Amino acid sequence: MAKATLLLPARSRFPAGNLPAPVATALGRAERSLGTAGESAQLRRHFRVQPAEWSAAALTRQTDAGDAAGSFWLRADPANIVPDMQGARLMASAETLRLEPVDVEALLPALQPLFAGFGYQLDAPTPSRWYLRLPEDTPLPAFAAPEIVLGDDLFPHLPDGDNGRQWRSLMTEAQVVLHQHPWNAQRVANGKRAVNSLWFWGAGRLPDSVNTAHAQVRSRDALLQGLATLAGVRLGGEQTVDALVDLRQLRSLDQLTRDAILPLLDAIGRGELAELQLDFEDGASYRIRRGQRWQFWKKPVSSLLDE
């Protein structure tokens, strides 16, 4: 019988509010656990990867272009950086800049010669994800993912050490090229943020193997699609098997309960679904099964944050 797992944002991302009675009752009787918080830890609860450290750049490249195998990759995503009294802050990443193909056509050719001089190949199979193909022996520092840096002071997150010096220099040179580019003046005149920097992150190769207990993944996220593809599971379609459903973009408590959880609780009640798991990015997990309906002594939860 089919199972469903909902991949959800941290509970704090939803507004405070009382849960519908059936949801409150089901969560109160559910098997609850608390794991490690964070996006990477959340995905690792569902995918076993060898080697253990995966590359976001290689996995999303495989989704975007299908040519990641055998190469070493680094994301070089467009970004918007704003100076302030303390230094500078990353105020928009590639996902929030809402780039279009015309942006790539205007900006990418101006940047490619900068990286080609180091033997790095820069391209952009999709407007929001830009890539550097690097020689296999390229020594790299540690890079921070943009979601960690967004809105924060850049300085603590810049690559350090001898290897980091080159990448800080490349970032500065890219900023000069982008600052001088007339396309950015046009973007600003149209009420859009300038693409005034690149952000490097996610370095590495495709993993040797990826395994998951799920038979289907439903997600628009390129990283999750890459993991699913390497694991050999079905992407999208109607849910008829053990499915991992990515709802991390949800921010409405009403949508979560009314449109996602309640229909699946009804399916459990009809015997059409064996189990429902709610996996939140903060590590909280609720496992709901039909037999739990007899556990009358367990109190309903009043809200998502009710421990």
- In the chain, % of residues over pLDDT 70: 99
Q: Which of 151, 170, 204 is the last residue of a domain?
A: 204
Does residue 304 fall inside a structural domain?
no
**251 close to 17: Cβ distance less than 8 angstroms:** no
Query: Do 187 and 227 fall into the same domain?
Result: no
Residue 88 lies in a domain: yes
Q: Are residues 185 and 213 in the same domain?
A: no
- 25-53, pLDDT tens digit by residue? 999 999 999 999 999 999 999 999 999 98
- pTM equals 0.90
Residues 197 and 238 reside in one and the same domain: no
- Show the domain range for 69: 56-204
Residue 287 has pLDDT above 70, yes or no: yes
User: Is residue 97 located within the same domain as residue 159?
Assistant: yes
pLDDT, one tens digit per residue, over 137-168 is 899 999 999 989 999 888 999 999 888 999 99
Total structural domains within the chain: 2
Question: Is 173 found in the same domain as 133?
Answer: yes
Per-residue pLDDT band at 286 (split at 50, 70, 90): very high
Is residue 98 over pLDDT 80? yes
Whether residues 97 and 43 fall in one domain: no
Task: Note whether 132 and 192 are same-domain residues.
Answer: yes
The answer as to whether 272 is a domain residue is: yes
Given 204, 223, 255, which residue is the final one in a domain? 204
Same domain flag for 164 and 151: yes
- The verdict on 36 and 73 lying in the same domain is no
| 302 located within any domain | no
Predicted local confidence at residue 307, as pLDDT = 61
Say what percent of the chain tops pLDDT 90: 84
Q: Does 171 share its domain with 82?
A: yes
Whether residues 64 and 200 share a domain: the answer is yes
